[in-house]
Amino acid sequence: MNEYSVLLYYCYSRIEDPEEFREQHHLRCLELGLKGRIIIAEEGLNGTVSGLAADCETYMQEVKDDPRFSDIEFKVDTAPEHTFEKLHVRVKPEIVHASLPNIDPRKKTGGYVEPEEFREILRAQPEDTVILDVRSNYEHNIGKFKNAITLDIENFRDFPEKVKELEHLKNKKVITYCTGGIKCEKASAYLLDQGFEDVHQLHGGIIKYGIEAEGEDFEGKCYVFDNRIVKDLNQVNPKVISKCFVTGKPSDRMVNCANPHCNKHIPMSEEGAEIYNGCCSEECSKNPEVRPYDGSGYYQKEMNGYNPYKGLKRKTTTA
């Protein structure tokens, strides 16, 4: 039974004192028993957390009750347990690292395309329209929309440099997409800033599309940033597009190489993992510090004395 909820959300809204807000927000998340990653900046709030369904309902209502986040939209999934091991609430310069501090989506960003409209566009594939994936390689390698243009980037902060390769699309209608929508707010704004005139974005990203449009024509699985790593999305015409790094056979099972010095994040089938005992190559398998392969390909970092209250100025103790 799925008693837990997984929330994915963001909101671009001015936070005058991010450090003070972080302090209060961190403490409230602890009181509600939430785990996950939350980023706070002067430009807004970005998070993905898990918790008991009732506690997540309380959290969502309290965030929405704050006038700064009244129009925030939560993408809600279910899970049988927590999808995170820890809670981290941090202040950073941007709520998504884009190296575009001067781009303000509150002032200019691409218009929204709702999931059902996007589904129709995917079906029709009009010649004057291109679908642009603004995610990183390891994300779109495991799953992407049919006929989408992908970029060879390791991190979203590399996106501005890659825009130079898209000059030939300036006369097209460009629709960007990402996991939950946050990257597209800045990506579409930057494209407009660079002279692209007809720029739009999939509202709510892949996750909202999966909820409202059954994920149709999303090929592969959706990469998510929690312990699940990937999740099924397409309920209409699913297919596997990624291949096992070792065997070359179709596989959408994402793992890390058992060699901690490599730690390559790749698709690897159970068959492929058996060949080098969880490693991506024979060379890696011979490293004396190879981690024991338990069949999962997931290597949880040690807690190293993790204290959920670390960073709080108020030395609060657990109730």
Catalytic residues: 178
Long-range contacts of 32-35 (CB under 8 A, 24+ apart): 32/56, 32/58, 32/59, 34/59, 34/87, 35/82, 35/84, 35/85, 35/86, 35/87
Distance CA 217, CA 236 (A): 8
Q: How far apart, in Å, are the Cα atoms of 221 and each of 36, 167, 304, 305?
A: 21, 29, 32, 34
Contact 40, 95 (CB under 8 A): yes
Q: How far apart, in Å, are the Cα atoms of 89 and each of 175, 180, 315?
A: 31, 19, 16
Contact 142, 230 (CB under 8 A): yes
Residue 207 in 3-state DSSP? helix
- For the residues of 87-125, what is the DSSP string, one character each? EEEEE-S-SS--S-TT--TTTS-PEEE-HHHHHHHHHH-
Contact 226, 50 (CB under 8 A): yes
User: Which of 112, 290, 137, 139 shows the shortest CA–CA distance to 212?
Assistant: 112
Q: How far apart, in Å, are the Cα atoms of 248 and each of 253, 266, 269?
A: 13, 12, 9
Contact 6, 78 (CB under 8 A): yes
| Count of CB atoms situated within 10 Å of the CB of 214 | 16
The residue written with tokens 């807004």 in the block is 44
